[in-house]
Every structure is written in structure tokens, then in C-alpha cells.
Structure 1
């Protein structure tokens, strides 16, 4: 597999992995927070081997991509236009888009505003933005799970707290939200390196800050046109499963698959299942399978049902615990 390289995309440069045969069906993988293109490694390798062209950028503000200053530079419409410019830079008229978390938000944007560029849409644990906004207003339980979004609005404090101890507590919170072994120590070292890039963590947090302070233009009321597969890990600690069905109902052609034992990091927790579902979806796009025929591999799922020892989980209080001395250090910065 090729190494990622920087590509001029509009007024900025993005670090982009682009590998596989040039004539293969292009698959655009969009990571979320606090990921980067490396988070798709088990999908990229599998689908390149199957002769697809795999493309995975570090999105604006992340890892080795440019990190423009100012919250306004991370408004969703701007992030979506990055994707359009990337497709143009690569000479691609149409792609299959696979998005997770915040990468799903930019994927929803592209599918809504430029459906002609999206052959198909695969959504991993990311609700439709309008559904999420409405759900928050009606479900206090989801509002409590989204407390960190308000914490991220504080200037400078999240960057200071989460980077303490070489990102130890933050890294542990990521691991505790996934199945045991989904992230190795070597994986976490790569993540820590990406988070430590100058300006990266501020850029990453600016996605959240812009979402509240610079909200995007309203999404079209029309249904999402490209065929859509939504795969949802039901044990997500951050997003309730009740968000999934209303989101897929926003699509003209939609299929929802729930993975009962997977969490937010569904493509890490259930690699074979997720890759298999994506492959079935691609076969559907090629006319070899109907959308309704896409289903969970029940035998593989049954093999995962053996009980496992519980993972230690960090509470919000543990995540942001800070001493008076450290608070003084932050105030003097």
C-alpha cells in the first residue's frame, strides 16, 4: 500500500492515502474524531486487495493536513467543500463514500448537496445531522452523553487537560470505548503522534466549536438520493441507537444493520462483519445483490457472543480530573 502524501485541495493541502488500481471503483474513507486516515487501515488493506481504489484523507485540522486558524475555517460547509475539491484534484467524478463519526457528517453533506458525486453511501455510527439536532432536544439521556461537546467549547482547557501525561488518560478513554484488543499499544502510539502534531488537537476540536458557533446552512428537506447502508454499533457510549432508524429514514434507498455487541468504534470492534457488509453493499451497487439482501453474518456474530471480562471504563470525572496546581499552570499559559 502506498504512503499518504499531501495534495493541494482548494486553498489548503490535505494528507491523503490513495492506493490501489487506478481503474478500480474508488472508495473514499472519511475518519472522525479523534482519528486520522490510519483508523481505516483494516478496511483499506482489505479492499485494496479486492482491487478497489482506496482513498483516505486526514481531514482538515488533523495529523499532517493543513490546520487553518480560526473556528470559522471548520464550518461544515467548508469541510464538505474540501471533499469536492479533493475529488476534483484526483479527477474523480463519483465515489463510494464510507464515513464514521465526524467523517459521517461530511459524508452526509456531500450526499445531500452533491448526490451526483456519490455512487453509494456507507455510514458508521453517525446520525443524520438534522436527526441528531432534533433528538437532542427530546432526549435528555443523549444530551448527557454529549456533555463533552460543551466541554470542548472552552478555550484552551480541553487541549491542556487531554494532552496531560503524554495523552495517557485520553488514549485510555478511546481504548475503553472499544472492544478489548481493538487498539494495540502500537496503534495508540501512532494516534498520540498524530494528536501531537503542531496545531492538530486545536484543529480537531474546532470541528466541535464551529458546529455550535458557526452552524451550517440547513440541509435540504429532500431525501438522500444515493443508496445508503448504515451500520450501527449498538453499544456506542456517545450516540444512542435510537438515532439510527430516523436517520436511515431520510434516505430514498436505505438499509440499517445493527451490530449488537459493537460500540462507537464499530469498524475496529467488528472488522470482518463491517468489511463483509461493505463488500455486500458494493456488490449491490454493481447489480449483483439487492439492498434488502444485505444482512449480518449471523454465524460470525454468534462466534463473538462468548462472554469477556469487563473493560475498565473512565468516568467523565476521571477523564477531566485536575489538581489545583495543574489548574494554576493552565491559567498561566
Structure 2
């Protein structure tokens, strides 16, 4: 976390203060990278050096509720529209008219939503083991196997109990879930210690779970516009939480989409296969 190539600052976005890690040349192609659950900016540690070295200007926020960013109260504060607006507000604060957008897991859902509703802002979109929110509900109803994989999200809807379970014994359950759902060695004990320090900050796990609660409980646009930006979906095929069919369904909402599979990688594709993922991202994001 003390990599001298990465700088850190807080940026005020109309009442929300986000912590942002930055790397790469100031005149490089602007690229916003969005982490998923239960990570924070540190989840892109394997990508930062290579992508910045390729000439990309990286902005990597702790999304609202995570890390050192603000944690607004209430489930409504984590509605998908608000999460997407954070990305636009961050770009505005940094003077970015257009930008590349990269997201993993929940960050990928937000990235898809931004690209659908703010097409004039997104140059290129890359999503890693994430689906477009517009396809998840219909897919879930047609595929019982995915409903079983998503059962944990139902548990997250309960009040208080999930927080107690996930924070017990220094985040032991979250540590185990990350270790068991990833390729051997992808997360070291030192890595998990870094994550656990963030989970145990006051109010952190409640804010993180409110992303799930808002998605399940609050209405949103059922027919989002198709994405016009060139889109690359990178998919670790050993994902225990998400079926690959979600990636294929997401392509139907992309006018210029492509799917690249990683047969030996899991949900944590950027950790399991960092060199291959970095090469794919650099090739895709560096195109004019």
C-alpha cells in the first residue's frame, strides 16, 4: 500500500468525500477503475503498475461506503443511480469530459450503469466478472442454478445479523470466503489483513451490505439503454457466485461488445491471472 507510484487524495463531490488513489501520467488516457465487494482501491494493486506504465492515467476511488471514503446513512444512499452519479461527479471534479471505465464485481455493475445512462462520457468499458444490472433479474428467474449461487445476497438483506457474522473474529468469514473462492495463492494472509482493517472500520460492513440491500429493495430503470461504447467483458470461468451466462446476456445490451474467457480463473480474475488480464486491458484501453 506504500507504493511510491501511487498518490492519494480526498475529493469532495457535492456532499460526498471520496478517497482516490491515482497513478500514471497526468496527460495519459483517463481511466476510472471501480472495485467490487468486499474490496477497496487495493483490489487493483496488480493492475496499477502495468496500466499506469502503459500510459493510462488511473483514478481508483474507494467507492461510497468503502475504505476511507464517506459512508452515508441509509439504504437509499446506495441506490445504483447514486453510485453511478458518483463516477460522473468524480470525472467532473477531475475535469474529464470522457474517460475509460473499468469495473470488477459490484464495480462492474456500476460501470455498466454509467455506460448505459451516460454514453457521452464513456470512451471504453471493461467489466471483470460482472453483469449488466439490467439482465440480472430476468436471468435469475430463468436459471435456478444462479438463484442458488445468489442465496448469500438474500442473507445480506437481514438487519444487523450479517454485520455481526461478517465482522466476527477479525472478519474471519470474509477472509475464508475470499480465500476459498479464489485460485490458490491469489490472496495472501498479509493481503487479507489489509482488507480486514478496512472491514472493521466503524460502519464499513453496514455500508457495504447496503449496496446489496438497495439493489434488492429499491426500484430502478427496468429497460436501460444499450451501451454504445466499445465493451470488453473479462470472465473467470471458475466463478462460484456468477454463471457465465450472465456475461453472455450482458453482451445483448452492448452494441459493440466482446467476451474474453479465462478458463482457469475464478471470480477474482484480476488476482488469479494478473498478467493476462493486464495485457487484455492495456490492449483494449489503449486503442484509439
State which of 198, 203, 207 in structure 2 corresponds to 1:199: 203
Match of 1:280 among 251, 259, 283: 283
Aligned equivalents of 2:131 and 2:109: distance in 1? 8
CA contact (8 A) 1:64 1:197 kept: no
Closer/same/farther in 2, CA of residues 77 and 219 from structure 1, 3 Å limit: farther
Contact 2:54 2:282 in 1 (8 A): no
For the aligned residue pairs, the C-alpha RMSD in angstroms reads: 1.1
User: How big is the shift at 1:164?
Assistant: 1.1
Alignment of 1:313-332 (within 5 A): none
Match of 1:49 among 45, 48, 53: 53
Distance, in Å, in 2 between the alignment partners of 1:143 and 1:170 is 21
Question: Any gaps of 5 or more consecutive residues in structure 2?
Answer: none
Runs of 4+ in structure 1 off by over 4 angstroms are: none
Within 1, Cα distance between the matches of 2:237 and 2:274? Answer: 15
* Deviations 1:12-69 (CA, angstroms, capped at 9, x unpaired): 1001012221100011110010010000011111111222211100000001100010
User: Matches of residues 249-288 of structure 1 in structure 2 within 5 Å?
Assistant: 249-283=252-286, 285-286=287-288
Whether contact under 8 Å (1:112, 1:219) holds in the other structure is: no
C-alpha contact (below 8 Å) 1:76/1:215 kept by paired residues: no
Moved more, 42-51 or 94-103: 42-51
Aligned to 1:232: 235
In structure 2, what is the equivalent of residue 215 of structure 1?
219
Match of 2:90 in 1: 86
Secondary structure at the aligned position of 2:147 is classed as helix
User: C-alpha separation between the residues in 2 aligned to 1:227 and 1:182?
Assistant: 29
Q: Determine if the alignment matches structure 1 residue 39 to structure 2 residue 57.
A: no
Larger relative contact order (Cα-Cα within 8 Å, sequence gap ≥ 6): 2
1:129 paired residue number? 133
Looking at CA atoms only, which structure, 1 or 2, has the larger radius of gyration? 1
How far apart are the structure 1 equivalents of 2:251 and 2:285?
18
TM-score (norm 1): 0.83
Note if contact 2:32-2:58 (Cα within 8 Å) is conserved in structure 1.
yes
Q: Is the 8 A contact 1:60 1:66 kept in 2?
A: yes
Kept in 1, the 8 Å contact 2:235–2:247? The answer is: yes
Q: Which of 63, 67, 79 pairs up with 1:63?
A: 67
Aligned equivalent of 1:72: 76
Tell me how far apart the structure 1 counterparts of residues 278 and 241 of structure 2 sit (CA, whole Å): 23
Q: Number of paired residues?
A: 284
Q: Displacement of 1:11 after TM fit? A: 1.4
- Kindly state the Cα deviation for residue 198 of structure 1 after the two structures are TM-superposed: 1.3
- Where does structure 1 lack aligned partners over 5 or more consecutive residues? 287-333
Alpha-carbon distance in structure 2 between the residues aligned to 1:107 and 1:170: 24
Report SS of the residue matched to 1:232.
strand
TM-score (norm 2): 0.96
User: Could you report, residue by residue, the CA deviation over 1:276-321 in whole angstroms, capped at 9, with x for unpaired residues?
Assistant: 11111124x32xxxxxxxxxxxxxxxxxxxxxxxxxxxxxxxxxxx
Q: Does the 8 A contact of 2:113 with 2:132 survive in 1?
A: no
